[in-house]
């Protein structure tokens, strides 16, 4: 069967308009592929394997370490790993008293980005500089006296930094675990290839050039990576390749490293390493297989015939479809079975195809570095500016906040006040006035028997309900009655005394308290009583008889006053209890009643000046009482009160 025919008929896959390579890695019909070669692409393997399968157990390079007496460490403080031995690790964000580890205290963990045979890798933001890092944490506790326990960290820190190597920041040990803080990359090459499958050739060249630079840097520093593979190669957001994972790095200057050298991943392992030690040439072999995999989407075998087939250079033609001959030749040279025939990193850099790309790649990396540096600078300037402005405007914001708070307080007060004056309906007014009045009266009774507090500013509900009927309580028959009535009416909401209390002669302290609690208008009346009695006889100040007479008069007057007040309070209470009945009638009220109510007089205004300046007898101008009020039949309470007041007036006139 013609292989090319099959390719075109079955597996011509359009990658996309932007891709320079139109046809993706060819996919073969399974029988042909199985008959001719065990090698396949990763896309083909995916088609063969079921979608959902149990994940493979994690590969561990060495036997899991068991706890020994050496592993019981008393000191759990974090130790910084340095080339000169462990040192105390300090950070302004680390508190020894805190039970959390240094990693937990100093880093804000974002997510797990990878798991390897050695450890878990986290993306974490460092609280010291607010930048993101990759932190690799060893899975198994390390043996205390293991020679290689810090190997990865020590190797990484002694490698001179290079733009194509993952940057090392620091490593520390805490509670028998090793933490390695490195630069965070976007993804590994393996992740990138497994998504894209067929990479455009210029991307492959870029990867090749970057990795060659990294390997050359290591080799020129007498170091062998020994584990070059797509999982240990990382891509930045600018698609710059970086070599990482220096767990197996062999420092040729260190005899211990050479002695304890381990094999890397068998998929990328040079055949000579099976019977010998890793060399520079074995690194070139691993790099060759990695580029082959990226360019052809080859599913690299880890053992078996296919493994040998690659090492024998028997890779089918179809895998190289769409790949330039330059790239293909270089790959084939690098995966040569004979290590001596493989080109060195230096020789590769001098190859024409690579040399021309090296310069442009260097320029690109430099420009990206500058761009990143500029962006970092600008963002840090911006952050400083924002911090500065927030400090400068902090008082303003506080002031604004305080004003806002005050405003909302006042608003709340205003709203509350509004809520305290609900619209009165006949149903609600009684309950409302009772509760308010009840409280007011109870309070007043504790303070003083005379309370005028509500008189001058009665509650809104009462003000509204005191319409026609209230005015009837006032009697303006004559001055004295007017005085007394006015005095009494000013105590509308005073506390109710028992009959005995109010009728018994007033005690001095009570009067004193009454004076204190009396409003100005009422206070003016009290001297007028005194002046009246005093004005009868200008010489009454001296003499025991005079004083006796005046005290009797005082007593009488006080008695009368208290009786009147009691009657007035009784009327008040009647008014309170009848408040609903006395409310304005609804519109459905019969016209006859409505007319009678309309004719009722309005409440007159009290003129206290008349009381302050007592006029001579006979020349007194009686206060004008509305005719309707005089003619109207009065309630029993008011009638009796008026008769009593008339008698009081008569008696005082006799005295005069
Ligand atoms: N600096 C990094 N930036 C982004 N991802 C990373 C970084 N370091 C590691 N990873 C992710 O974590 C995974 C495992 O990391 P790494 O290879 O260092 O662990 P490992 O234990 O040495 O595994 P193995 O020995 O199998 O290579 C990587 O495949 C990669 O996906
Ligand atoms: Mg790794």
- Note whether 235 and 188 are within 8 A (CB): yes
**In a 10 Å sphere around its CB, with 0-12 CB exposed, 13-18 middle and 19+ buried, how is residue 600 labelled?**
middle
In tens, the pLDDT along 32-71 reads 444 446 788 877 777 776 665 566 665 555 544 444 434 4
227 is a catalytic site residue: yes
Give me the CATH code for the 79-183 domain, please. 3.30.200.20
The predicted pLDDT at position 606 comes to 61
Task: Return mean pLDDT, the chain.
Answer: 71
The predicted pLDDT at position 602 comes to 60
In tens, the pLDDT along 536-591 reads 444 444 444 555 666 677 788 888 888 888 888 888 777 666 554 445 555 566 67
CA of 307 to the centre of ligand 1 (A): 24
The predicted pLDDT at position 547 comes to 57
**In a 10 Å sphere around its CB, with 0-12 CB exposed, 13-18 middle and 19+ buried, how is residue 572 labelled?**
buried
**Edge to edge, what strands does the sheet with 241-243 contain?**
187-188, 233-235, 241-243
Given a cut of 90, is residue 509 above it in pLDDT?
A: no
The interface predicted TM-score (ipTM) is 0.96
Given a cut of 90, is residue 242 above it in pLDDT?
A: yes
- Note whether 652 and 532 are within 8 A (CB): yes
Going by pLDDT thresholds of 50, 70 and 90, the confidence category of residue 167 is very high
The phi, psi pair for 535, rounded to 5°, reads -70, -15
Residues, CB within 5 angstroms of ligand 2 (ion): 116, 232, 245
Given a cut of 80, is residue 501 above it in pLDDT?
A: no
The predicted pLDDT at position 263 comes to 85
Given a cut of 50, is residue 27 above it in pLDDT?
A: no
Closest CA to 348 of 216, 179, 176: 216
Given a cut of 50, is residue 9 above it in pLDDT?
A: no
Q: Delimit the domains of the chain by residue range.
A: 79-183, 187-361
Mutate to test the pocket of ligand 1, among 136, 183, 189, 227 (most ligand atoms within 8 A of CB): 136
The whole-model pTM stands at 0.56
Cα dihedral sign, 176-180-185-189? negative
- Note whether 114 and 188 are within 8 A (CB): yes
Cα dihedral sign, 83-233-209-266? positive
Given a cut of 70, is residue 439 above it in pLDDT?
A: no
Non-local (6+) Cβ contacts of 500 within 8 A are none
The predicted pLDDT at position 614 comes to 54
Q: Which of 226, 227, 451, 454 is catalytic?
A: 227
DSSP 6-53: HHHHH---B--TT-S--B-S----HHHHHHH-S--BHHHHHHHS-SS-
More confident residue, 189 or 648: 189
Which of 377-391, 503-517, 622-636 holds the top average pLDDT? 377-391
Which top CATH class is 187-361? Answer: mainly alpha
Ligand 1 neighbours, Cβ below 6 Å, are: 113-114, 116-119, 121, 134, 136, 166, 182-185, 188, 231-232, 234, 244-245, 247
């Amino acid at each position: 069967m013609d292989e090319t025919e099959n390719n075109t008929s079955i597996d011509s896959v359009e990658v996309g308009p932007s891709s320079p390579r139109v046809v993706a890695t060819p996919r073969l019909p399974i029988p042909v592929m199985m008959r001719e070669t065990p090698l396949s692409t990763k896309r083909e393997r995916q088609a063969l394997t079921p979608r959902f399968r149990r994940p493979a157990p994690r590969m561990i390079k060495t036997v899991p370490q068991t706890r020994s007496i050496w592993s019981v460490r008393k000191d759990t403080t974090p130790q910084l790993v340095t080339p000169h031995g462990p040192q105390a690790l300090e950070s302004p964000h680390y508190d020894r008293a805190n039970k959390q580890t240094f990693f937990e205290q100093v880093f804000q963990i974002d997510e797990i980005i990878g798991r390897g045979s050695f450890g878990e890798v986290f993306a974490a933001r460092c609280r010291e500089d607010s930048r993101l890092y990759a932190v690799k944490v060893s899975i198994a506790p390390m043996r205390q006296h293991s020679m290689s326990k810090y190997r990865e960290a020590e190797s990484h820190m002694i490698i001179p930094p290079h733009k194509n190597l993952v940057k090392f920041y620091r490593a520390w040990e805490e509670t028998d675990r090793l933490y390695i803080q490195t630069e965070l990359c976007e993804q590994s090459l393996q992740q990138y290839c497994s998504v894209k499958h067929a990479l455009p050739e210029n991307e492959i060249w870029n990867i090749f050039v970057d990795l060659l630079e990294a390997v050359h840097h290591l080799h020129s520093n007498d170091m062998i990576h020994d584990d070059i593979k797509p999982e240990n190669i990382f891509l930045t957001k600018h698609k710059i390749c970086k070599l990482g994972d220096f767990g197996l790095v062999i420092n040729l200057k260190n005899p211990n490293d050479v002695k304890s050298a381990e094999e890397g991943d068998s998929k990328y392992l040079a055949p000579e390493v099976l019977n010998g030690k890793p060399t520079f040439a074995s690194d070139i072999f691993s790099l060759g297989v990695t580029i082959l995999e990226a360019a052809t989407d080859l599913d690299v075998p880890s053992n078996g015939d296919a493994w040998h087939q690659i090492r024998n250079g028997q890779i089918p033609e179809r895998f190289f479809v769409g790949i330039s001959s330059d790239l293909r030749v270089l790959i084939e040279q690098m995966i040569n079975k004979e290590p001596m025939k493989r080109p060195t990193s230096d020789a590769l850099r001098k190859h024409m195809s690579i040399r021309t790309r090296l310069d442009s790649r260097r320029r690109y990396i430099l420009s990206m570095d500058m761009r990143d540096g500029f962006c970092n600078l600008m963002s840090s300037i911006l952050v400083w500016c924002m911090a500065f402005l927030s400090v400068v405007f902090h008082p303003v914001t506080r002031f604004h906040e305080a004003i806002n708070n005050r405003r909302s307080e006042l608003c709340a007060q205003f709203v509350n006040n509004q809520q305290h004056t609900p619209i009165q309906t006949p149903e609600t007014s009684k309950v409302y006035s009772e509760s308010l009045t009840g409280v007011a009266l109870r309070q007043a009774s504790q303070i003083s028997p005379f309370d005028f507090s509500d008189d001058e500013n009665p509650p809104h509900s009462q003000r509204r309900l005191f319409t026609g009927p209230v005015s009837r309580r006032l009697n303006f028959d004559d001055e004295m009655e007017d005085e007394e009535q006015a005095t009494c009416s000013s105590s509308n909401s005073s506390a109710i005394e028992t009959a005995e209390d109010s009728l018994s002669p007033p005690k001095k302290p009570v009067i004193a308290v009454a004076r204190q609690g009396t409003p100005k208008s009422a206070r003016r009346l009290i001297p007028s009583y005194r002046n009246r009695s005093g004005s009868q006889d200008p010489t009454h100040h001296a003499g025991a008889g005079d004083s006796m007479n005046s005290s009797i008069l005082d007593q009488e007057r006080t008695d009368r006053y208290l009786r009147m007040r009691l009657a007035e309070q009784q009327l008040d209470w009647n008014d309170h209890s009848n408040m609903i009945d006395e409310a304005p009638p609804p519109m459905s009220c019969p016209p006859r009643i409505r007319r009678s109510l309309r004719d009722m007089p309005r409440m007159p205004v009290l003129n206290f000046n008349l009381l302050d300046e007592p006029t001579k007898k006979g020349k007194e101008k009686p206060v004008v009482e509305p005719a309707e009020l005089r003619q109207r039949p009065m309630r029993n309470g008011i009638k009796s009160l008026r008769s009593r007041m008339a008698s009081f007036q008569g008696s005082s006139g006799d005295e005069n």
